């Protein structure tokens, strides 16, 4: 929190700060030290719970991340797939002939790399065409909104996972569909007052 600002408004608040003032205190997120180098053998994507679990070669839980997985209209894939490639600081190509259709956009678009792009700072491409695990420009929305079929993590979680996987790592989708956070909110909105 900075001067009463939270979440995405922190970025706007930081840009407005005058850093010429000595003694100015700025609090930032510390995602912690990088994990000890482990090799991830298997990833489980649990769309219903809004989680990604990564297991080492001995089957031990090595990493655990909150995630947004697909939506009702564009669910995540089903079954098991494999990591095909890992791209750090990727560009993003939107092609309505291959991907989902977004609004009225009908032409192919190339979006340059950067943390504010649709796939954030990392994309872990899967063997299922057009599906992947990637970062996001909006970390506060993880497990609170939907995605277009992919698995969305914070940029720092996607970056950590990208350095622990390799081509051939198995990724199993336990279920697709709407993210758990959105389902919980919609159920709460439908519940009668006082429940």
Report, as residue numbers or ranges, the catalytic residues. Answer: 134, 150
Q: Which residues contact 166 (CB under 8 A, 6 or more apart)?
A: 39, 40, 83
H helix or E strand, kind and range, residue 184: helix 180-190
The answer to whether the CB of 88 falls within 8 A of the CB of 119 is no
User: Which DSSP category does 94 fall into?
Assistant: E
CA end-to-end span of the chain, whole Å? 32
């Amino acid at each position: 929190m900075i001067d009463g600002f939270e979440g995405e408004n922190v970025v706007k608040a930081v840009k407005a700060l005058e850093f010429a003032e000595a003694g100015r205190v700025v609090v930032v997120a510390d995602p912690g030290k990088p994990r000890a180098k482990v090799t991830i053998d298997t990833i489980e994507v649990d769309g219903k719970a809004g989680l990604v679990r990564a297991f080492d070669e001995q089957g031990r839980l090595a990493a655990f991340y909150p995630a947004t997985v697909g939506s009702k209209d564009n669910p995540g894939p089903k079954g098991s797939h494999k990591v095909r490639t890992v791209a750090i600081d990727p560009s993003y190509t939107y092609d309505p002939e291959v991907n989902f259709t977004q609004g009225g956009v009908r032409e192919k678009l190339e979006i340059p790399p950067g943390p504010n792009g649709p796939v954030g700072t990392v994309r872990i491409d899967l063997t299922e065409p057009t599906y992947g695990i990637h970062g996001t420009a909006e970390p506060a929305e993880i497990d609170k909104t939907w995605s277009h079929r992919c698995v969305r993590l914070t940029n720092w979680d996607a970056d950590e996972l990208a350095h622990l996987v390799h081509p051939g790592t198995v990724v199993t989708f336990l279920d697709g569909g709407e993210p758990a956070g959105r389902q919980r909110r919609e159920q709460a909105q439908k519940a009668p007052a006082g429940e």
